[in-house]
């Protein structure tokens, strides 16, 4: 491909050159041909033959026979050939300039003179010299190109690469080692953009330094703030925990007070009975009417009342005593005892209670206190709701059952249920619909908390057809600590 291109290039070059030469030559010969001045013709042909690439020049007559030929020999000497018998074929079929070639040369022909005495000028050009000339040209172009590239590279290196490299070095240097000192990039380039790049870099570096200082300050402030925040959060968490403990204790105290109120109520009747018995004993004694049988009856009746009092105290003690870790307890008994303590106040409010307690349900984790406290809160709420709604036949139904390992206590009332707009809020602390003097809004909040925490159980509420239904659900098995 490269050879073909070179060949075509040389051919085109020589064709072009030959056209110019033959045009000039014909113009010069024209006049002398009319004058038949063959001496001048020869000298003109000789002058043109001195052109390096020209191998021979011929003047050819109308019969295609050469009249005059000037040819270079091997020593590049010009030789004159006259009237050789070499006949040029195919000339007559051309009307004007034409170009042919053989292995060694390119030939260009141009007609000269008038149509009657038409002659031809032929110029032969050496392919070998043409190629050599091209090679010289290419060599020159290559050398010039290489010199130019070298020069350009040098310029690029000097005025672009070197300053850029310097900038790059300073940039990386400043981003690693000299963070705190910044960078001062002194570039003296003849290219305006590079100098302005260096200036921008210096400015950027100064800005970075400033920003770094601001960031360090902000980091320090943030660190101090974080430390303060952590200690403040810890303080608040501690306060919250203390508040929870306080709330829990308050709620326990409230439950105890409720129970003591109930005990006082329960004790009034047997104490009255004992007082009456003592009075009748005293009267019988004063009337001298006291026999052994009556005395024994008095003792039995009194002991019965005392026994009732003592049982109430036992129930109370059982529900308030400290629990031993992981001591199992009988849920059925705890529920009965809790109910017994609150029953008188329910009866006082004309509430009909029904119990459906499955016997012998044992829970293997010590949370009897929590359970009884929650039950008291729920029962008191039910009592309050029934009184407030002034229901005709006030009812509370308590059920205890175990399904598999799940123990479930449900407490239903017929007070109409909890309004849907507040049902989501009743477990929130301090939420109450009762007048402040009647309710703190902590009962259900504490109950839910202790059932969650101390029993790993859950306290939930739904409204059924007649009223509210609270469910305490927990597992009978030991908690995984």
DSSP bridge partners of 363: 329
Q: How far apart are CA 130 and CA 65, in angstroms?
A: 27
Q: At what angle do helices 331-348 and 292-320 cross, to 10 degrees?
A: 110
Minimum distance from CB of 460 to ligand ATP (Å)? 12
Q: 3-class SS at 110?
A: strand
User: Which of 70, 121, 187, 385 contacts ligand ATP by CB under 6 A?
Assistant: 385
User: Which of 19, 133, 364, 434 contacts ligand ATP by CB under 6 A?
Assistant: 434
- For ligand ATP (CB under 6 A), the number of binding residues is 20
DSSP bridge partners of 468: 463
Mark 263-299 as b/e (b = at least 16 C-beta within 10 Å). Answer: beebbeebeeebeebeeebeeeeeeeebeeeeeeebe
Q: How far apart are CA 11 and CA 188, in angstroms?
A: 52
* 381 is an interface residue for Mg ion by CB under 5 A: yes
Minimum distance from CB of 357 to ligand ATP (Å)? 20
Q: Outline where 177-191 has alpha helix (H).
A: none
- For Mg ion (CB under 5 A), the number of binding residues is 2
* 442 is an interface residue for ligand ATP by CB under 6 A: yes
Which of 309, 321, 363, 318 minimizes the C-alpha distance to 336? Answer: 318
Give CA separation, 409 vs 196, 212, 234, in Å. 84, 65, 38
User: Which of 13, 439, 452, 473 contacts ligand ATP by CB under 6 A?
Assistant: 439
The one of Mg ion, ligand ATP, none whose footprint includes residue 361, by CB under 5 to 8 A per kind, is none
User: Which of 363, 382, 459, 472 contacts ligand ATP by CB under 6 A?
Assistant: 382
- Cβ proximity to Mg ion, 417 vs 443, nearer residue: 443
Minimum distance from CB of 228 to ligand ATP (Å)? 36
What are the DSSP calls for 48-86, one per residue? HHTSTTEEEEEEE-TTS-EEEEEEE-TTS-EEEEES-SP
Minimum distance from CB of 250 to Mg ion (Å)? 13
Which residues, 445 to 474, sit near ligand ATP by CB under 6 A?
445, 468
Minimum distance from CB of 449 to ligand ATP (Å)? 11
Q: Are 187 and 163 in contact (CB under 8 A)?
A: yes
Tokens coding 176: 């690693």
Q: Are 126 and 53 in contact (CB under 8 A)?
A: yes
- Cβ proximity to Mg ion, 182 vs 443, nearer residue: 443
Region near ligand ATP per CB under 6 A, out of 70-78, 155-163, 216-224, 378-386? 378-386
* 413 is an interface residue for ligand ATP by CB under 6 A: yes
- Cβ proximity to Mg ion, 130 vs 467, nearer residue: 467
The one of ligand ATP, Mg ion, none whose footprint includes residue 259, by CB under 5 to 8 A per kind, is none
- Cβ proximity to ligand ATP, 164 vs 423, nearer residue: 423
The one of ligand ATP, Mg ion, none whose footprint includes residue 109, by CB under 5 to 8 A per kind, is none
Q: CA quadruple 290, 296, 301, 307: dihedral positive or negative?
A: positive
DSSP bridge partners of 78: 72
- Cβ proximity to ligand ATP, 5 vs 420, nearer residue: 420
DSSP bridge partners of 291: none
Minimum distance from CB of 427 to Mg ion (Å)? 11
Q: CA quadruple 415, 421, 427, 432: dihedral positive or negative?
A: negative
- Cβ proximity to ligand ATP, 61 vs 408, nearer residue: 408
The one of Mg ion, ligand ATP, none whose footprint includes residue 201, by CB under 5 to 8 A per kind, is none
- Cβ proximity to Mg ion, 270 vs 443, nearer residue: 443
398: how many CB neighbours lie within 10 A of its CB? 21
User: Which of 66, 111, 182, 443 contacts Mg ion by CB under 5 A?
Assistant: 443
Which residues, 414 to 433, sit near ligand ATP by CB under 6 A?
415, 418, 426, 431-433
- Where do contacts with Mg ion occur on this chain (CB under 5 A)? 381, 443
- Where do contacts with ligand ATP occur on this chain (CB under 6 A)? 377, 381-382, 385, 413, 415, 418, 426, 431-434, 439-445, 468
């Amino acid at each position: 491909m490269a050879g073909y291109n070179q060949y075509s290039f040389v051919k085109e070059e020589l064709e072009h050159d030959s056209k110019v030469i033959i045009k000039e030559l014909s113009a010069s010969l024209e006049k002398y041909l009319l004058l038949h001045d063959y001496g001048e013709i020869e000298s003109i042909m000789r002058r043109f033959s001195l052109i390096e690439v020209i191998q021979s020049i011929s003047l050819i007559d109308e019969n295609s026979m050469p009249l005059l030929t000037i040819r270079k020999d091997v020593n590049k000497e010009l030789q004159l050939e006259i009237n050789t018998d070499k006949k040029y074929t195919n000339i007559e079929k051309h009307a004007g300039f034409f170009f042919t070639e053989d292995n060694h040369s390119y030939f260009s022909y141009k007609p000269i003179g008038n149509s009657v005495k038409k002659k031809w000028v032929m110029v032969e050009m050496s392919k070998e010299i043409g190629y050599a000339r091209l090679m010289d040209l290419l060599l020159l172009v290559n050398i010039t190109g290489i010199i130019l590239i070298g020069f350009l590279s040098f310029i690029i290196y000097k005025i672009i690469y070197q300053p850029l490299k310097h900038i790059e070095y300073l940039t990386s240097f400043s981003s690693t080692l000299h963070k705190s000192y910044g960078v001062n990039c002194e570039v003296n380039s003849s290219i305006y953009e590079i100098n302005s790049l260096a200036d921008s870099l210096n400015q950027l570096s100064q800005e970075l330094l400033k920003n770094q200082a601001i960031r360090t300050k902000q980091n320090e402030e943030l660190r101090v703030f974080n430390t303060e925040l952590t200690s403040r959060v810890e303080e608040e968490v501690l306060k919250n925990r203390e508040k929870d403990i306080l709330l829990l204790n308050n709620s326990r105290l409230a439950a105890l007070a409720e129970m003591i109120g109930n005990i006082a109520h329960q004790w009034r009747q047997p104490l009255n009975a004992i007082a009456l018995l003592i009075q009748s004993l005293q009267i019988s004694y004063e009337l001298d009417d006291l026999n052994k049988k009556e005395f024994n009856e008095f003792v039995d009746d009194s002991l019965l009342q005392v026994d009732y009092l003592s049982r109430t105290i036992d129930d109370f003690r059982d529900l308030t005593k400290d629990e031993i870790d992981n001591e199992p307890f009988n849920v059925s008994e705890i529920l009965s005892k809790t109910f017994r303590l609150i029953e008188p106040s329910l009866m006082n409010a004309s509430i009909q209670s029904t119990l459906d307690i499955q016997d012998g349900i044992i829970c293997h984790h010590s949370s009897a206190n929590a359970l009884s406290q929650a039950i008291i809160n729920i029962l008191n709420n039910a009592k309050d709701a029934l009184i407030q709604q002034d229901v005709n036949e006030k009812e509370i139904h308590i059920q205890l059952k175990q399904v598999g390992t799940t123990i479930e206590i449900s407490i239903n009332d017929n007070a109409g249920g909890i309004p849907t707009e507040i049902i989501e809020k009743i477990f929130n602390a301090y939420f109450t619909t009762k007048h402040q003097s009647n309710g703190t809004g902590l009962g259900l909040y504490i109950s839910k908390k202790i059932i969650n925490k101390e029993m790993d159980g859950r306290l939930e509420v739904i409204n059924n057809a007649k009223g509210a239904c609270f469910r305490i659900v927990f597992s009978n098995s030991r908690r995984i600590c």
